[in-house]
């Protein structure tokens, strides 16, 4: 089912066009990343999707329900929103996590129990009795995430969640997103100006520039085991050579435009070459997205010229190659 | 011993002997000021939150008017209410002149702009994320206001304490509307004025010291509270 579907959505502020989206849909259970430069309209779109602001025109349909002034407050309660640089109220961490439940009149024992569950899941037990204003930036972000998750929202929206975090917290937060994504407990929407991170963490990546959603790309994301001794990433179906400087990873991502397709096995420096069958061909503007099954499904974007030259049709046997340096790890 | 030294000793004597008359005056002062501060606060604080959050025509004019009213002389308030409450005045029939109620009314008018103005300043300087966060967490309109007030409670308390300081220390309203009736409307400030003019300097001095002590206690309680919760 479509979690969101947007039609002719526009937002203006003081006469200036901030957002202009003709049509867009987003499926339930997916993780979507919005990438784009600062001021592109990412936060505005997330605010609209969290039902915090009213669009200037167009409509947002959430789980089949069109948002109106009458039901916006009620829809808002089905969304978990973590704003950029989140604010914690001047009380304890646990009280902050419980707050949304308290506003929904959940009784004290139940809300304490639910809050403690989430706090434990995110490894924040040691912070629970602390006052929120004593926390570091990374801790604040995690508490804000717990505060949103405890409400068991249908979608979790995070605005630039990585911006104010140091490296350790970035990794922890990435892991949390991956876990939620694997469990498919919630749909996730987040914005980032880091394209690569977005590609690694999300099922779908949309770019937003000058208020327009202009590009989407599928990402090749693979789970597996990393063998440190020979730097091989084993997905169980195929084995991938990784760059030499990698020490540890659970997930790898390869950008579709980094994958080369050929009829014959290439005699080149590319250390990863697999033979497989073409499973799908999608036109995307000037490019064609080719889905190839080599044991794992890979998406590759090639130009139309390259496509014509290869003369690709469904079920064709083809070679797929990429350099180990094209691999991004998590 | 000089005049001042003797007066101080006598004043301490009165304070530590727990002189009944002295402490009754102190209690009357505190009671009247507390009542007016309580009434003004329950009105001013929600009003300040709304005032700060909304945009409406005439807002900046109202703001300057409030600033002007903050410096309102106590005798002017006293005079104004005296006119209204005196026998010939429009509310003369209520018989409120020279009662504690009249004093509460006067102090209320006096401190209302002070508490409101400081509470608006507190609300204006509050973190804008308080509002967006409470909306995002699904708070209703009333819940948003309550959460906001809870969050800026220390700044609001400072506004209340400033109002209390003004109320307990003023003499114009208390004198003109209370009439300085012994055992009824005599407050610390009116008693100080009277006793000094009577030449009872020790009694006046004792009251002066107690007045400072009350102000000091109220402020230190606030400070202690702020430190505890930050």
Q: Is A86 on the interface with B (CB under 8 A)?
A: yes
- Percent of chain B past pLDDT 90, that is, above it, reads 70
pLDDT bin (cut points 50, 70, 90) of residue A271 is: confident
The whole-number pLDDT of residue A217 equals 59
Q: Is the pLDDT of residue B29 over 90?
A: yes
Computed over every residue of chain A, the mean pLDDT equals: 88
**Which among A83, A90, A104 has the least Cβ separation from residue B136?**
A83
The Cβ of residue B7 has, within 10 Å, a number of other Cβ atoms equal to 18
Nearest to A242 by CA among A252, A231, A253, A256: A231
* pLDDT for B19: 85
Of residues B109, B36, B44, B105, the one with CA closest to residue B72? B109
Which residues does chain A have within 8 Å of residue B122's beta carbon, measured at their own beta carbons? none
Q: Is the pLDDT of residue A219 over 80?
A: no
Tokens of B195: 């006793």
**A-B interface: how many C-beta pairs under 8 angstroms?**
46
Quick one: average pLDDT of A73-97?
A: 94
pLDDT band at A188 (very low <50, low <70, confident <90, very high): very high
Strand-strand pairing, A16-27 and A232-234: unpaired
Helices (H), chain B: 3-16, 20-53, 59-70, 74-85, 100-124, 129-136, 141-151, 153-169, 172-173, 188-198, 201-228
CB contact under 8 A, B137 and A50: no
Whole-structure pTM value:
0.72
A86 CB neighbours in chain B (<8 A) are 129, 133
CA B222 to chain centre: 15
Query: B147 contacts in A (CB within 8 Å)?
Result: 89
Min Cα–Cα distance to chain B from A181, Å:
22
Across B5-34, average pLDDT? 89
Q: What are the b/e assignments for B109-145, b being 16+ CB within 10 Å?
A: bbbbbbbbbbbbebbeebeeebbbbbbbbbbeeebbb
Average pLDDT over residues A111-119: 95
- Does pLDDT of B124 surpass 70? yes
Q: Which of A79, A78, A113, A115 is nearest to A97 (CA)?
A: A115
Quote the percentage of chain A above a pLDDT of 90: 51
The more confident residue out of A208 and B133 is B133
DSSP B52-79: HH---TTHHHHHHHHHHHHT--HHHHHH
**CA distances (Å), origin A121, targets A158, A172, A175, B189:** 18, 12, 12, 61
Q: ipTM of this model?
A: 0.76
**Of A52, A90, A104, which is closest to B136 when you measure between CB atoms?**
A52
pLDDT at A177: 87
Give me the pLDDT at residue A196, please: 66
In this predicted model, what pLDDT tens digit does every residue of A88-100 receive, in sequence order?
999 999 999 999 9
Contact yes or no for B136 and A103 at CB 8 A: no
Q: Which of B126, B127, B131, B133 to mutate to test the interface with A (most CBs of A within 10 A)?
A: B133
Cβ atoms of B35 and B104 within 8 Å: the answer is: yes
Above 90 in pLDDT, residue A195?
Answer: no
Q: What percent of chain B has pLDDT over 70?
A: 99
How much is the pLDDT for B11?
84
**If we measure between CA atoms, which residue out of A206, A250, A208 comes closest to residue A227?**
A250
CA-based nearest residue to B10, from B190, B204, B185 = B204
pLDDT band at A216 (very low <50, low <70, confident <90, very high): low
CA B152 to chain centre: 20
Give the minimum alpha-carbon distance from B121 to chain A in angstroms, rounded to a whole number: 19
* pLDDT given at position A201: 84
How far is the C-alpha of A255 from the C-alpha of A274, rounded, in Å?
16
Which residue in chain A has the smallest CA separation from B153?
A90
The residue of A14, A54, A89, A157 whose CB has the most chain B CBs within 10 angstroms, and thus the best one to mutate to test that interface, is A89
CA distance A14 to A211: 15
Per-residue pLDDT reduced to its tens digit, A276-328: 999 888 776 677 888 899 998 888 888 888 998 999 999 999 999 999 888 87
B-proximal residues of A, 44-63, CB under 8 Å: 50, 52
- Give the model's pLDDT for residue B61: 94
Which of B159, B188, B163, B154 is CA-nearest to residue B174?
A: B188
Task: Find out whether A172 and A142 touch, Cβ atoms under 8 Å.
Answer: yes
The shortest CB-CB distance from B137 to any of A90, A103, A131 is to A103
């Amino acid at each position: 089912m479509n979690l969101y579907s947007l039609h002719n959505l526009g937002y203006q502020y003081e006469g200036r066009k901030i957002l202009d989206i003709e049509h867009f849909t987003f499926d339930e259970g997916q993780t979507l990343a919005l990438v784009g430069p600062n001021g592109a309209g990412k936060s505005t779109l997330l605010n609209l999707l969290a039902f915090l602001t009213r669009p200037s025109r167009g409509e947002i349909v959430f789980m089949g329900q069109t948002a109106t002034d009458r039901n916006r407050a009620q829809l808002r309660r089905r969304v978990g929103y973590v704003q950029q640089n989140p604010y914690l109220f001047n009380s304890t961490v646990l009280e902050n996590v419980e707050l949304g439940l308290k506003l929904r009149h959940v009784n004290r024992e139940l809300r304490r129990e639910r809050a403690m569950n989430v706090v434990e899941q995110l490894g924040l037990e040691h912070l629970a009795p602390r006052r929120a204003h004593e926390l570091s930036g990374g801790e604040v972000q995690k508490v804000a995430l717990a505060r949103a998750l405890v409400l068991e929202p249908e979608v979790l929206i995070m605005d630039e969640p990585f911006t104010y975090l140091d490296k350790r917290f970035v990794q922890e937060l990435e892991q949390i997103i991956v876990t939620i994504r694997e469990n498919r407990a919630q749909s996730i929407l987040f914005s980032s100006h880091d394209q690569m991170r977005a590609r690694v963490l999300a099922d779908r990546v949309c770019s937003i520039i000058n208020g327009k959603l202009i590009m989407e790309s599928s990402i090749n994301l693979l789970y597996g085991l990393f063998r440190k001794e020979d730097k091989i990433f084993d997905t169980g179906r195929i084995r991938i050579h990784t760059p030499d400087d990698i020490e540890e990873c659970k997930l790898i991502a390869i950008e579709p435009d980094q994958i080369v397709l050929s009829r014959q096995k290439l005699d080149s420096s590319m250390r990863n070459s697999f033979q497989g069958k073409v499973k799908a061909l999608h036109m995307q503007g000037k490019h064609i997205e080719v889905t190839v099954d080599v044991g794992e499904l890979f998406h590759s974007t090639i130009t139309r010229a390259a496509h014509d030259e290869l003369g690709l049709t469904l079920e064709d046997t083809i070679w797929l190659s990429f350099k180990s340096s094209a691999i991004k790890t998590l | 011993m000089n005049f001042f030294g003797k007066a101080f000793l006598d004043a301490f004597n009165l304070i530590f002997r727990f002189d009944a008359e002295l402490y009754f005056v102190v209690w009357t002062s505190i009671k009247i000021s507390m009542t007016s501060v309580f009434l003004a606060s329950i009105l001013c604080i929600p009003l300040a939150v709304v005032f700060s959050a909304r945009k409406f025509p005439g807002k900046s004019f109202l703001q300057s008017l409030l600033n002007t009213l903050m410096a309102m002389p106590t005798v002017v308030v006293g005079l104004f209410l005296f006119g209204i409450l005196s026998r010939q005045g429009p509310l003369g029939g209520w018989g409120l002149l020279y009662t504690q109620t009249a004093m509460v009314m006067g102090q209320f008018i006096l401190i209302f702009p002070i508490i409101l103005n400081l509470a608006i300043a507190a609300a204006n300087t509050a973190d804008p994320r308080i509002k967006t966060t409470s909306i995002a967490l699904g708070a209703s309109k009333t819940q948003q206001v309550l959460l906001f007030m809870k969050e800026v409670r220390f700044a609001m308390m400072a506004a209340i304490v400033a109002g209390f300081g003004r109320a307990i220390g003023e003499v114009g309203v208390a004198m003109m509307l209370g009439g300085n009736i012994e055992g009824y409307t005599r407050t610390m400030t009116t008693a100080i004025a009277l006793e000094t003019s009577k030449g009872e300097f020790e009694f006046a001095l004792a009251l002066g010291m107690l007045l400072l002590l009350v102000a000091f206690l109220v402020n230190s309680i606030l400070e202690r509270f702020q430190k505890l919760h930050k």
